[in-house]
Structures are given as structure tokens and as C-alpha cells.
Amino acid sequence: MGMGKEFKEFALKGNVIELAIAVVIGGAFGKIVTSFVEDILTPLLGAAIGKHDLSDYFVTLSPGHYESLAQAKAAGAATLNYGVFLNTVINFVIVALAIFLFVHQLIKMMRKPAEKATRDCPQCLSPIPEKARRCKFCTQPVATPSASPA
């Protein structure tokens, strides 16, 4: 079997196509979350702390003083950008939480309902509901289980 044919079989399998769709949707979702973090959450958090943008928190490793990260970068100064790192961590936590909630709901929906209690018919040995008075398979009457003494 040639490499081209093997690749074609691999690429056209359902799982690969589903994975590709998931990656595209995940990328779009990531952009939405990034926008939420950078455009809504961090400005609110920054305003609460006293600065307007968390990404402007940095430490200059080079000599000199700069008012903003943009000024430091324009001057070619080495900087430790912990504000940008905080934005990225917040972004990650929100994405992880959203994925957790989605998977949690998906598992909840896929969970099978609990099976009802059954017993075997004494005549045909087919499973019948615990409270049945007649077997639905052989139509024979069956005694209902007596209440257990307390």
C-alpha cells in the first residue's frame, strides 16, 4: 500500500475530520476568550488596582526609566513583562473553566439513566420489573414481593 493511499485513508477518517472541526472551533473560542480577558476583564481589574491596563506592569532590566511597556520596547530595553503574563494566566484559567463546564455538562447529558430494579420471572426466567404482577413475556401471574418486615 502506497504512502499516498495510506495518508488519504487516515485523513478522511471521521475522527480526523472531527478533530479538525474541533481545532477550528477551539481557535475561534480562544479568540473570544482572549478578547473577553483583554478588552473587558483586565481593564476592570486594572481599574480596581489603579492602573488602566495590566499589561503595562513590567520591570525594566536595562538602565533607564520608562513610563510604559511600549516606551521600553521602543527604546530596546530588556523588560520583565509580568502584566502580560498575568493576562495570559487569566486567559488560561477562563478557557480551562469554560472547557471544564462544557465537558461536565456533556458527560451529564450522556450519562445513562439508572436502570429500574428487576427480578426474574419464576416461570420463564425473563427479567421483569420488581413490582410487576404478571410477566410480560409469558403472561403468567407472578407474586409481588412481600414487604420486608422492619
CB 130 within 8 A of CB 120: no
Q: Taking residues 98-117, what's their average pLDDT?
A: 80
User: pLDDT at residue 54 above 90?
Assistant: no
User: pLDDT at residue 135 above 90?
Assistant: yes
CB 111 within 8 A of CB 85: no
Q: Which amino acid is at 120?
A: D
Q: Taking residues 64-80, what's their average pLDDT?
A: 89
pLDDT-based confidence at 7, cuts 50/70/90?
confident
DSSP-based three-state secondary structure for 79: strand
**pLDDT tens digits, one per residue of 33-44:** 888 877 888 778
**Out of 2.60.120.10, 1.10.1200.120, 3.90.226.10, 3.60.15.10, which CATH number does the structure's domain 12-111 have?**
1.10.1200.120
**Which grid coordinates are listed for 27?**
481557535
Segments making up each domain of the chain, as ranges? 12-111, 114-143
